[in-house]
Each structure stands twice: as structure tokens, then as C-alpha cells.
Amino acid sequence: EADRCIECGLCIATCPAHMGIPQYIAAIREDDMEEGLRVLYETNPLPEICGRICTHKCESVCAMNHKGDPISIRWLKRYIADQIPIERYREILGSEADDKSGRTVAVIGAGPAGLSAAYYLARMGHTVTIFEALPEAGGMTRYGIPEYRLPYDQIDKDVAYIKSLGVAFKFNTRVGEHITLEALHGQFDAVFAGTGLHLGRSTRVDGVDHPMVFMAVDLLREVTLGNTIHVGKKIVVIGGGNVAMDITRTLARLQKQQFGTIDITATCLETEDVMPADCEEIVEAREEGAIIDAGWGPKRIEVEGGAIKGLHVVKCLAIFDEERRFNPRFDENLKQFFEGDMIVEAIGQGMDLKYLDPLKDQITFSPRGRIEVNAGFQSSLPWFFVGGDIIQGPDVIHGIANGQKAAKAIDKYLTTLKKQHPYPHQ
């Protein structure tokens, strides 16, 4: 596969992290995995994670598309990382920075953006502590993606090297509850937040407040935590993205274990040809026994005698209006009813920014409620930087790129701070 690369470089410009893709493919061609790993870590400290679930937009511009299939860039990245055991990473990539800055940075959230920022800050010589609300690192890559797609031990491998650089982790520590943002500001010279999109969004249709209506992100998190979740005998999933396919396949497997049969239907506004889920996710969901019936909008959940009977839907004619704003149009005469005793909403995720409340008046937000940042992901509070899903939406590689750019900006900010105050902030 590596021999097919013509080193055109189109992929580099398309990748949000601008990874040296032709360079690491060349390393594979030369059977030099060590050099390949070094190239990966120049722009991406999470190759095991990204090698499995990256959105691989780079492949869409691959020149080989003109002659057939694009080069499997994502899988080649995974191939390099898989070939080298974690025990050799420090030997190949180096260990803790010798030149310590004496400056400290707090990172909120151990997802891709937070881990990326922590990695590059540590390599710059800063002392980094990550505060994570959940028991383990990975963020939505661990708690929002099933293990069959992204094995936990591969997340742990990426995290292990970051830990080896001296990055400290404080798990089960929710900022805003166990420690305030103001307290972090008092203890650290700068703060980076990459808190992800952990809240599910609701359709708000009639019946959605029934106890047998669940959010996909909540169920996926509970599965990762090892908790028992309710599994209906006949389930309807609302949504057409990867999260919808993830929960559909997860519940299908649990149905098979508990009942010996699979009865789960996923429906969404989009027609199947434009569903946001990866094509392979849709194919694999069907292979596992799920029904995908796309192009319908939820109207109401039918409840009878206190129990859910199913979901009423109408045909979706268009999702966006002429100005590309979300404004679905429906044909009320084309109706369908999906039977089910359990409904799962997987129509998107939202931000939980409660930890910002005490400082909200000092932070500038966009009209859509996102924190406004400059090119270095610095907010209106000079010491507070923000990146990842809460800035640019759910995409692992964007989060990784944000983390690196923010780390450079934080380093510059700390250098300025050093000139103003020569002694480390206490």
C-alpha cells in the first residue's frame, strides 16, 4: 500500500494537523518504523487512537482517487504505531525535557485536545497537570466510542507515553465541583480546557420525557464504565451519525446476549446517501442485524398504559433551507410508525460549561454560545485557553491540532509572563 504513494502532498494540506503523511508513508516503504513514529509525533501524539477513528479527510483528496481507491492513510498510521511496543517509545521519541521552564499549566479534560496540549507543553519543559472528571483518560474516544471500534488498551498506549513525560493526571476530579476554575488560576500559570461534548441533545418531541427514552452518549458512557444499562426488546434509535451507529451496534449486541435476537431500527432526517455516519459504520450496523430506515423526521413518541409503543415519523423533504440554515421540511402526508419499547436519541451532543459560571462575565461568547478564541485558542481571559470539540465540533484530528496550536500559544504566553514576572507563579 505504501508503494502506491506518489508524494503529491495534497493530503498534508487537507489534514487539520498537517501531518507529514508522505514522510511517514516513505518510512513504511523503507521499513523504518522508528522514523515513521518520529514523523507521527511531530504533529500527532495520539497515533493509536487516530489510526483507528480519524475522519481521514486526507484520503478524500488523495491523487490515487483518479485511478481507483485512495491510499489507506489512516490504516498506515495505525500500522506504524502498532509495530512498536510502548517500552521503546522513550528510546525512540525521547523522554522528559531537560530544560524545565518552572511554569505550570492545568489542562481540563483528558480527551484528544487536552492530551495533545499536555504532550506538547511537556515537551516544551512546562509542568502539566490534567484534571479529568471520569476515571480514565481518553475523553469521548473512550466514553463515547465502543471498545470494538477503539480498544481501550490502544488508548492507554497513547496515554502511557504522555504520562512518561511527567504529565500528572487527577482523575475523578470535575472542575466546577471538586475544584473551581478560579482555584486553578490561582495554582497554575495558564489553563487549557478541552472538555468535549458530553451532553446529549434532544428531539424535544412529545413523549421524550418518558423514562424509557435515553441519550446515546449516556448509554455509551455507562457501558464503558462497566455499568448495566436497560436494553429493550424492540429499540428505535434516532440519528444518522457515527454515535447513532455506535449505540445501534452496541445495543444490537446486548440484545443478542440477553434475548437471543436483534430488533433495532435506526432512523434519521438524512437520506442514506448523505448520512453523516461513515459508510463502513452503516454497512457494519446492517451486518450486525440492525435496520437502517433513513429520511424520516420524528413526530412524537407513542405511550400507552405508561409504556412506550413506538415512534411516529414523517417524511423529511429537506434538512436545510436556501440559506443553509437547519430548517427541516416534512411531508405530513407520508407517515410511518416504528414499533419499539425503548427510544434512543443520538442527534448530536452539546457542551457542559457550568464550570465557567463564576467567570462567565469575563469570557466572550459567540452568538451561538461558543467561547470566542483567537488563532492561538486564547479566550478573552489571557490565561485561559480553549480547544477541541467545544470550539470546532466533534472531530478527533481537529482536537489534536487544536491542542498543538494552543500549546504553542500557551508557551508564548508563558514566555511573556516570564519577562514580566521572573519567578514562577505560586
What CATH architecture does domain 200-349 belong to? 3-Layer(bba) Sandwich (3.50)
DSSP character at residue 165: T
Q: How far apart are CA 46 and CA 78, in angstroms?
A: 10
pLDDT mean over 327-343: 98
Furthest-apart CA atoms within the chain: distance in Å: 72
**What are the cell numbers at 88?**
521503546
Question: Helix, strand, coil shares of the chain as percentages rounded to 5?
Answer: 40, 20, 40
Interaxial angle between packed helices 73-83 and 33-43, expressed in degrees from 0 to 180 and rounded to the nearest 10: 120
Residue 425 has pLDDT above 80, yes or no: no
What is the reported pLDDT for 426? 46
Residue 23 has pLDDT above 90, yes or no: yes
Q: How far apart are CA 40 and CA 42, in angstroms?
A: 6
Mean of all residue pLDDT scores within the chain: 96
CATH class belonging to 100-197+351-420: alpha beta
pLDDT band for 420, please (50, 70, 90 cuts).
low
Q: How far apart are CA 292 and CA 267, in angstroms?
A: 6
pLDDT band for 393, please (50, 70, 90 cuts).
confident
Residue 408 has pLDDT above 90, yes or no: yes
For residue 66, count other CB atoms closer than 10 A to its CB: 7
Given a contact cutoff of 8 angstroms between Cβ atoms, the answer to whether 195 and 351 are in contact is yes
In CATH terms, is domain 2-92 a member of 1.10.1060.10? yes
Given a contact cutoff of 8 angstroms between Cβ atoms, the answer to whether 125 and 100 are in contact is yes
**What are the cell numbers at 95?**
523522554
pLDDT tens per residue across span 71-115: 999 999 999 999 999 999 999 999 888 789 999 999 999 999 999
Distances in Å between the Cα of 159 and the Cα atoms of 45, 112, 152 are: 9, 10, 11
pLDDT mean over 263-268: 99
pLDDT band for 419, please (50, 70, 90 cuts).
low
SS3 of residue 211 by DSSP: coil
Residue 417 has pLDDT above 90, yes or no: no
Which helix (H) or strand (E) segment holds residue 23: the answer is: helix 21-29
Residue 387 has pLDDT above 50, yes or no: yes
What is the reported pLDDT for 293? 98
Query: Could you tell me what percent of the chain has a pLDDT over 70?
Result: 98
Query: Could you tell me what percent of the chain has a pLDDT over 90?
Result: 94
Residue 361 has pLDDT above 80, yes or no: yes
pLDDT tens per residue across span 316-331: 999 999 999 999 999 9
Of 137, 95, 80, 86, the closest CA to residue 113 belongs to: 137
pLDDT mean over 262-282: 97
What is the reported pLDDT for 368? 87
pLDDT tens per residue across span 244-259: 999 999 999 999 999 9
Instruction: Give the pTM.
Output: 0.95
What is the reported pLDDT for 96? 83
Given a contact cutoff of 8 angstroms between Cβ atoms, the answer to whether 109 and 379 are in contact is no
pLDDT mean over 140-154: 97
Q: How far apart are CA 245 and CA 15, in angstroms?
A: 24
Q: How far apart are CA 48 and CA 142, in angstroms?
A: 13
What is the reported pLDDT for 99? 87
What is the reported pLDDT for 117? 99
What is the reported pLDDT for 154? 98
Residues of each domain in the chain carrying CATH 3.50.50.60? 100-197+351-420, 200-349
Residues 6+ apart with CB under 8 A from 286: 292
pLDDT tens per residue across span 286-316: 999 999 999 999 999 999 999 999 999 999 9
